Amino acid sequence: MKILVQKFGGTSVSTQEKRKLVVCKVMNAKEEGYFPVVVVSAMGRKGDPYATDTLLSLIDDNFKVANPLALDLLMSCGETISTVIMCNELNSKGIDAVPLTGGQAGIITDCNYNNAAILNVDTKQILSILQKGKIPVVAGFQGKDENNYITTIGRGGSDVTAAILGAALNAVETQIYTDVDGIMTADPRIVSEATLIKKISYDEIFQFADQGAKVIHPRAVEISRKYNIPLVIKNTMNNCDGTVISNLGNEGYESIITGITHMNNRVQIKICKNSDSSYEDLFDILAENLISIDLINVFPKEKIFTIDEKDFIKFQNLIKEINLVCSFVKECSKISIIGSKMRGIPGVMARILKALTREKIEVLQTADSHMTIWCLVETEYVEGAINALHREFKLG
Ligand code: ADP
Ligand code: MG
């Protein structure tokens, strides 16, 4: 059985017009001899009636914190509604489709509500539906725990649902349909000349996803890599080939830089050494308090790093408690310049710094690894910086 997992994101299922295009994708797959397994997200984005954020606005913040189980049940509704609407659409074209919650589709998670980890996938139900010649339409982003409570697996989780089903069903490939042609050299909302990346390795795309490109969830990349299932990102609105993510990567592609992504809401912190011993223990203390840090530079008399804005108040309270003094720059963005071919090539950092200096953009900090160079800039300059770097490396 040639199984094909096809996941459709929020914008792809938001209107009837778009859902008709989804039906075409599913019908085409069927006509080509595949057995499609459809995964759907909640319909639309923030502000739309059945989008997850809209559902969340129906209950109080205190209730959310005190009742994670109820919160998950509410959050799962958007995807559940979507499965039924999609089945309705498929049925109207004479296709027999069966709506399934994540739990009914066999996705078993731990009890870490709101951010549950998938422990196991029982494919029995899906396989039985496929064997009857019908199409399972699975609600993304959700599963059930050992007590049969509905859980959700974190934002962007429908990508993870698709990847885990692709792996469990040993699919020919996992297709992620969205509102762009595939993975581009930069977010097309920021860089109008961004171009499509046709082929890319799991490793490179993991960097993209992990460093802020929201087009695919990093866990979905990890799972597909582990089980060696090709992951293909495509546009619901057209027939473009999209981006193929596989172990083969992009053989023959010569550019040293593959693309650029970024992450907002970073706060740069500088802490000077004082006589207090807590300076030496600072990183341990932050780890114990679950504050993750990055872009870490340690000097004899100073430590510089960044944290997420959401941890800032907690961080300030901690610092006060342990008698350290810090200075900080809020509203920073971390730009990631990614390319597996930059290893060992001299002068890449120099080109980056020159391109940004030309635009009078101050670089607050840098770091590099074998595949990525990071630059921290103030958020008001991030779009200009990404465009300048995109031009410098001729990615358009
Ligand atoms: P969906 O609802 O289909 O899951 P998402 O909003 O999660 O869609 O992801 C698609 C969006 O990701 C695009 O609209 C685009 O703005 C954004 N994006 C960010 N970086 C990139 C990139 N490098 N290539 C393509 N899209 C990107
Ligand atoms: Mg998404």
184 CA → ligand 1 middle, Å: 9
Minimum-distance ligand 1 atom for the alpha carbon of 9: 3
Nearest ligand (C-alpha, residue 263):
1
Using left for φ > 0, alpha for ψ between -120 and 50, and beta otherwise, residue 55 falls in: alpha
345 CA → ligand 1 middle, Å: 30
- Residue 7 assigned ligand-binding role: yes
Query: How far apart, in Å, are the Cα atoms of 155 and each of 180, 192, 274, 299?
Result: 19, 26, 41, 37
For ligand 1, mutation pick of 48, 52, 214 (most atoms within 8 Å of CB): 214
Q: Which CATH superfamily is domain 3-179 in?
A: Acetylglutamate kinase-like (3.40.1160.10)
Nearest ligand (C-alpha, residue 242):
1
Domain with CATH 3.30.2130.10 in the chain: 259-392
Is residue 384's pLDDT more than 70?
Answer: yes
- Residue 206 assigned ligand-binding role: no
Say which DSSP state 311 is in. G
Query: pLDDT tens across 33-59, in order?
Result: 999 999 999 998 888 999 999 999 999
- Residue 52 assigned ligand-binding role: yes
186 CA → ligand 2 middle, Å: 16
Mean pLDDT score across all residues of the chain: 95
Strands 326-338 and 365-368: unpaired
- Residue 10 assigned ligand-binding role: yes
Tokens of 8: 């459709």
pTM of the model: 0.94
Mean pLDDT computed over 290-297: 95
20 CA → ligand 1 middle, Å: 21
* Alpha-carbon gap, residue 333 to 386, rounded angstroms: 11
The residue assigned the tokens 């659409």 is: 89
8 CA → ligand 2 middle, Å: 9
Give the count of alpha carbons within 13 A of 246, CB side only. 15
**Strand arrangement, sheet containing 107-109:** 118-121, 107-109, 142-144, 150-152
Amino acid residing at 318:
L
Coil, strand, or helix at residue 99?
A: strand
Which residues neighbour 362 within 8 Å (Cβ) at sequence distance 6 or greater? 356, 377, 378, 381
Nearest ligand (C-alpha, residue 390):
1
Nearest CA to ligand 1 atom 15: 187
Q: Where are the beta strands (DSSP E) in the chain?
A: 3-8, 35-40, 97-100, 107-109, 118-121, 135-139, 142-144, 150-152, 173-178, 199-201, 231-235, 243-246, 259-272, 293-299, 302-308, 326-338, 365-368, 372-378
* Alpha-carbon gap, residue 231 to 125, rounded angstroms: 23
Coil, strand, or helix at residue 133?
A: coil
Q: What is the pLDDT of residue 180?
A: 96
Is residue 323's pLDDT more than 90?
Answer: no
253 CA → ligand 2 middle, Å: 27
Model confidence band, residue 345 (pLDDT cutoffs 50, 70, 90) = confident
Query: pLDDT tens across 165-205, in order?
Result: 999 999 999 999 999 999 999 999 999 999 999 999 999 99
Query: pLDDT tens across 59-92, in order?
Result: 999 999 999 999 999 999 999 999 999 999 999 9
Of 149, 8, 22, the residue nearest 76 (C-alpha) = 149
* Alpha-carbon gap, residue 334 to 211, rounded angstroms: 8
Please answer whether residues 177 and 22 qualify as being in contact, where contact means their C-beta atoms are separated by less than 8 angstroms.
Answer: yes
Nearest ligand (C-alpha, residue 184):
1
Mean pLDDT computed over 91-118: 97
Tokens of 144: 């059930």
Q: What is the pLDDT of residue 252?
A: 67
- Residue 79 assigned ligand-binding role: yes
Task: Name the residue with higher pLDDT: 277 or 162.
Answer: 162
Q: What is the pLDDT of residue 110?
A: 97
What percent of the chain is modeled with pLDDT above 90? 89
Query: pLDDT tens across 269-284, in order?
Result: 999 987 767 888 899 9
- Residue 8 assigned ligand-binding role: yes
Model confidence band, residue 129 (pLDDT cutoffs 50, 70, 90) = very high
173 CA → ligand 2 middle, Å: 18
Minimum-distance ligand 1 atom for the alpha carbon of 208: 23
Nearest CA to ligand 1 atom 5: 215
For ligand 1, mutation pick of 38, 155, 178 (most atoms within 8 Å of CB): 178
Q: What is the pLDDT of residue 250?
A: 74
259-392 placed in CATH 1.10.10.10: no
Residues contacting ligand 1 via CB (< 6 Å): 9-12, 41, 178-180, 183-184, 186-189, 213-215, 259, 261
Q: What's the distance, CA 20 to chain centroid?
A: 26
* Alpha-carbon gap, residue 254 to 86, rounded angstroms: 42
Task: Name the residue with higher pLDDT: 270 or 254.
Answer: 270
Domain with CATH 3.40.1160.10 in the chain: 3-179
- Residue 214 assigned ligand-binding role: yes
Is residue 395's pLDDT more than 90?
Answer: yes
* Alpha-carbon gap, residue 264 to 225, rounded angstroms: 27
Minimum-distance ligand 1 atom for the alpha carbon of 184: 24
7 CA → ligand 1 middle, Å: 14
